[in-house]
Amino acid sequence: MTQKAVQKVVLCGAGFLGPNIATTISKSNANSNVLRRVQVSSRRPERIHSSLETKMPRDHLLPPVPVDITKAETIAPAFEGADTVVSMVGILNGTPEQFEAIQWRGAENVAKAAKQIGAKVIHISAIGADKNSGIPYERTKALGEEAVFTHSPDATIIRPSILFGPGDEFFGRFAKLAQFLPFLPVFGDGQTRFQPLYVGDIARLIEIITRNEPKIREQLDGKIIEAGGPEVFTYRQIMDLVVKYSGRNRPIVPIPWALGKLQGAILEKLPPTIFTISQSQVEQLKKDNVVSSKPSPNQVPFAQFMEEYSSPLTSVHEILPQYLGRSK
């Protein structure tokens, strides 16, 4: 029996997406002539690593290595021997300085370290990244993209829309809110559009890229992928889905934008809870979160790529019933 070549994939940052990537890579190893071993690296990687030990064969999972991407000197030991680095550095709440340190300079530190060892970088950004935005999250996501391409020109940047799946922080959060609130709030007129993406689909995309096959590299090196699911919903329709699949009959109540900003001004100063929202997040909810209808020349069509290498994208109607009802 021919012995498989071995590659190392580092998941830098983990959160909701990381475990899905790790298990997807592990499952694909059975049909590959390369054994990709996954290492989790974050400030505190032990918890996620422990959860993966029960889901993956032992030889598919490397020991966790702590890393602080705001401290460049901690990164090299974590990346040693890596063939691919999946950079998932990011935060949802914080000060402007924290956003810059993590989403901009932290992303830059990761790209620099990966380039030094010749590792392929897959960087997770976000739809709506805009360096001219007044919203720290959007501005630093765009600056992080620039820094990644500056130091790792052959990187692939993925801009996902909102992710859904068991454990998500969007549909799951609203389903939990329905436990405590007599209604579900919708800011403004509820017409902001979203293109929810199943976490398993983006994990499959990343698994495909980590194969480092010449044809795939040729298509994706130095490229951006805006990744959205097969359906577009308004904010109001999203809440309708939460009500339908969570089994909680709650009225959906419009909240004026000004009142939402006031709520954010208060809650962002308090310790985080399920009710926490910031003023910046309220502002983000005014903007459509969908794949661009006029992609730039360096963007690769996501759905088309996935149909070529994997399978059609997954509908929310297939997945939401599997987990939203569990929050009852």
In order of start, what are the domains of the chain with their CATH numbers? Answer: 5-160 (3.40.50.720)
Strand partners, 157: 123, 224
Q: How would residue 2 be classed by pLDDT, with cut points 50, 70 and 90? A: low
pLDDT digits (tens, 9 = 90+) for 134-177: 999 999 999 999 999 999 999 999 999 999 999 998 999 999 99
Percent of the chain with pLDDT over 70: 98
Which tokens belong to 115?
Answer: 């380039």
Which tokens belong to 94?
Answer: 């914080």
Q: What is the mean pLDDT of residues 34-40?
A: 96
- Residue 78 pLDDT exceeds 90: yes
Which tokens belong to 85?
Answer: 């680095």
Q: What is the mean pLDDT of residues 87-95?
A: 91
Q: What is the dihedral of CA 88, 93, 94, 98, to 10 degrees?
A: 10
CA distance 98 to 295: 30
Contact, 179 vs 248, CB < 8 A? yes
- Please give the model's pTM, rounded to 2 decimal places: 0.94
Mean pLDDT of the chain: 94
> Which pLDDT belongs to residue 269?
87
> Which pLDDT belongs to residue 21?
98
